[in-house]
Amino acid sequence: MASIQTTANGTPVLILREGSKENKGREAQRNNIMAAKLIAEIVKTSLGPRGMDKMLVDNLGDVTITNDGATILKEIDVQHPAAKMMVEVAKSVDNEVGDGTTSSVVFAGALLEKAEELINKDVHPSVIVDGYNAAAEQALKLLQKIAIEVDVSDKDMLMKIARTSMDSKLVSDDSPHLGAIVVDAARMVAEKKEGGTKVDLDNIKVEKKAGGSMGDTKLIKGIVLDKEVVHAGMPRRIENAKIALINAALEIEKTEMSAEIRISDPQQMQMFLEEENRMLKSMVDKIKSSGATVALCQKGIDDIAQHYLAKAGVLAVRRVKESDMTKMALATGARMVNNLDDLTAKDLGSAQLVEERKVETDKWVFIEGCKNPKSVTILIRGGSQRVVDEADRSLHDALMVMKDVLEKPAIVAGGGAPEAYIANELRQWSSSQEGRAQLAVQKFADALDSIPLNLAENAGMDPIDTMTELRAKQSKGQKWTGVDARNTQVADMYKQNVLEPAAIKQQIIKSATEVASMILRIDDVIAASKSRMPAGPPGGMGGMGGMPGMGGMGME
């Protein structure tokens, strides 16, 4: 390959190490675009409420069933560098706004597909990139123009938004029930701060247990600990609990060095044990005198201490995770103490009920009915492990959507309506652009249409008829017209209550344009030789390992 260059007088200069691969110009672009398009191809059938799910099998044979773009791409093993960039888009959208991952990949793929058409017509990639960026900027302005401010205390509205996010998932049948949980949970942990609301999703603990049905999924105004009460003699249920959070061991500290005590007389032995007993009892006494009826300990609890706690009627749990202790403090209003000597009645938190319950085969401790909890738990139930796992992912998306809208209260309708609206406006606006950039803006608009188009295709609707009707209605100024995939018709998506945060659409446009531009700007791919090639096609950086039938996509 081109690793040897010659100077003016003909002396060869070795630039790249032997075995390196270089791929230049058109060829490099075409390869990159193809790889990126393939990634979009994989996820596009899962877009929208009628999208299909994917079954992913990892190399240990574990099966995941999901509809979530970010999860699909996380699980498949992608090797081609441009394909990897597409996976990154999904990840970045997931981190920023939590939903819209599939859309961003589909849109980025469409941008590249349309760009390829222009490249084939000899439009230079940098012209396309400029046109795309101008179009994206304009698209964001248009989005802002149609976005509707919402009142975050409007529970009904929030419910519609949460349901839209879940409507495209396995859990859609239960979206009325789950939607209400998501809305309540997000509102409970939302904090009014200067300059708006802040939602920290870390304060929503999600526990899942296969068994029962999705309808048994519950919001607990408090915390669920996947631990049992330490001692059989302790109460299993305490009402109006006073809770102590202890970050110290209820044990006799072992010495750091290995010490040895020689005992010559049984009497001494007895005294030694009694002293230990006395120390443990005094620890328990401190807890008791604070008025605590529940003790949650981050460290261990000695058997003898357990016995005394049981005698005192205290319900105790040991080795509680640090993260749970923090959440518990937020939920119950307790203050964590590191030293038992400091424990007073003021440090105790409260909950209406602390109870150990059987969840399938496990025993868990529920701390619930907290007043004004700043931390809550969602306990997901469902027919099987795979179902609760997918429900967990869908709830994550929906919770993120709640966070988005509570923090930035602006929404748009979904179902491809905003995309169709922006595409329409951009086509008109494109004439204001000069020369070939105009073509790029038009292609950008065509790429936006890929969202309603794929929603229609996945719903089994005729793509041409649908898009014609959609465009006609959009041109008449019906800006919320989109693809009502549930009822397979073109309809006003606002009236259909399909609502999404504007922040998600914004992020999709930004991230997809960014990655498409980045991929288009590459005209030279130089890959170091790999000393070891594990499974996968030979030839440096070729192919997408782990995906059958794509092995030859390299650059030989």
Instruction: Point out which residues bind Mg ion (CB under 5 A).
Output: 99
Stretch that binds ligand ADP, among 160-168, 179-187, 215-223, 236-244 (CB under 6 A): 160-168
The number of residues in the chain equals: 556
Spatial neighbors of 506 by CB under 8 A, at least 6 apart, are 140, 143
Q: Which does 310 bind (CB under 5 to 8 A by kind): Mg ion, ligand ADP, none?
A: none
The nearer residue to Mg ion, 287 or 455, going by C-beta atoms, is 455
Q: Yes or no: say if 526 and 22 are a contact pair by the CB < 8 Å rule.
A: yes
> What φ, ψ does residue 240 adopt, rounded to 5°?
45, 55
The residue type of 142 is: L
Does residue 102 touch ligand ADP according to CB under 6 A? yes
The nearer residue to ligand ADP, 229 or 391, going by C-beta atoms, is 391
Does residue 485 touch ligand ADP according to CB under 6 A? yes
The nearer residue to ligand ADP, 103 or 217, going by C-beta atoms, is 103
Does residue 484 touch ligand ADP according to CB under 6 A? yes
Which residue out of 66, 102, 377, 481 is catalytically annotated? 102
What is the distance of C-alpha 151 from the center of its chain? 25
Does residue 314 touch ligand ADP according to CB under 6 A? no
Does residue 449 touch ligand ADP according to CB under 6 A? no
* DSSP state, residue 319: S
DSSP string for residues in 414-473: -TTHHHHHHHHHHHHHGGGS-TTHHHHHHHHHHHHTHHHHHHHHHTT--HHHHHHHHHHH
3-state secondary structure of 286: helix
Which residue out of 66, 71, 101, 164 is catalytically annotated? 101
Q: How far is the CB of 50 from Mg ion (least distance, A)?
A: 13
Q: Yes or no: say if 242 and 291 are a contact pair by the CB < 8 Å rule.
A: yes
531 by Cβ neighbours in 10 Å (0-12 / 13-18 / 19+) ranks as exposed
> What φ, ψ does residue 100 adopt, rounded to 5°?
90, 15
Active site residue 466: no
**Bridge partners of 368?**
353
Q: How far is the CB of 52 from Mg ion (least distance, A)?
A: 14
Question: Site for ligand ADP (CB under 6 A): how many residues?
Answer: 26
Active site residue 68: yes
Q: Which two tokens stand for residue 451?
A: 């969202």
Among 207, 425, 449, 500, interactor with ligand ADP by CB under 6 A: 500
Q: Which does 436 bind (CB under 5 to 8 A by kind): ligand ADP, Mg ion, none?
A: none
Q: How far is the CB of 480 from Mg ion (least distance, A)?
A: 19
Q: How far is the CB of 484 from ligand ADP (least distance, A)?
A: 5
The nearer residue to ligand ADP, 71 or 350, going by C-beta atoms, is 71
Which residue out of 66, 68, 164, 446 is catalytically annotated? 68
Spatial neighbors of 265 by CB under 8 A, at least 6 apart, are none
CA distances to 42, 65, 208 from 387, rounded to whole Å, are 22, 8, 10
Active site residue 255: no
Report d(CA 304, CA 306) in Å as an integer.
5
Site for ligand ADP in 36-55 (CB under 6 A): 46-49, 51
Q: Yes or no: say if 378 and 205 are a contact pair by the CB < 8 Å rule.
A: yes
Q: How far is the CB of 12 from Mg ion (least distance, A)?
A: 55
Active site residue 101: yes
DSSP string for residues in 137-150: HHHHHHHHHH-EE-
Q: Residue of minimal CB distance from Mg ion?
A: 99
Site for ligand ADP in 202-261 (CB under 6 A): none
The nearer residue to ligand ADP, 414 or 551, going by C-beta atoms, is 414
Does residue 415 touch ligand ADP according to CB under 6 A? yes
3-state secondary structure of 365: strand
Q: Which does 48 bind (CB under 5 to 8 A by kind): Mg ion, ligand ADP, none?
A: ligand ADP
Residues annotated as part of the active site: 68, 101-102, 397
Residues that bind ligand ADP (CB under 6 A): 46-49, 51, 67, 69, 99-103, 164, 167-168, 414-416, 451, 455, 483-486, 498, 500
